[in-house]
Amino acid sequence: MKVSTLFAAAALLPFALAAPSAKPIILRDLAKPRFFGAAANTTFLFNDKNYTNVISTQFSIFTPENEMKWESIEPEPDSFTFGPADEIVRFAESVGAKMRGHNFMWGNQLPPWVNASLTATELDKALKNHITTIMDHYRGKIYAWDVINEMISDNTPNETFKDNIWTQKFGEEAMPKALAYARGGQTAQALSDTLYNVAKGFLADGVPLDAIGFQCHFTLGQVPSTLQQNLQRFADLGLDVAITELDINIHGPANATALAQQAQDYWTVVDACVQTQRCVSVSVWGVSDDHSWIPNGAVLPWDAEKQPKPAFYAIADAFEGKPEP
């Protein structure tokens, strides 16, 4: 089991559609030895048969989109609602996929009772109980835990950590606390540099950290040219790295030119992982455009009809080591 912290970072391309008689493209197979994953959502899992078909066949690791976030899984103090998250875990087991747990420490999607009225001691007790109870419940069923989510400030270099309940109560000890209890990236360069320095410092201080997850919610044509080098420098610290949340927002009509650029962007991100030996997985944040957290961005590799877009074929090419189109 691994623990990680996350931070949030022309002409039509020649991706030929598969002929009807061709062997089906299964991305989870092409990704090996890495995992290809998706954020799974119980709202759609068994209520949209086309969604269920895609998610059952194409992915080898799942992250619960909302079902393990604090407001969902512990809505009242020490009262846990495991049902929806259990459903995704059982589904993953049924299709031979692994699970990422997501997440323990984040400034958003907290239940009303986790608020500033708690003393630091009370919040510390609640955090430890939250982490240990959930990890005990899913012991042996989770491949990796996203322990900390989006804690590095967007205002670097002026501040290191975001201003939220965790930093207000614990200061710089917030992240080490969560990582210690679990042990039993939006990548502007400054943000990435700050996280790198934080991770390097944690390792030097013996804070238990195994991996760094990169959130890649990119706008069309804006994938950083330094992405692979950025993955590699964290890997060089002895950490696994993963693309944990990937989508490419078209921000406009999904015409042939935009879809071609989106495909190019997906290829670039997946290739960056393939070129980094310690990059263990790529996960898209959702499955199809109609079920994305960004409703009008046409952000995912499958369209609203669950048909593969050029991005799907670009991902396949990248996993197979085919050159940039």
Residues designated catalytic: 245
Task: With both helix axes pointing from N to C terminus, report the angle between 174-183 and 189-204 in degrees, rounded to the nearest 10.
Answer: 60
| CA gap 209, 241 in Å, rounded | 11
| CA gap 17, 140 in Å, rounded | 40
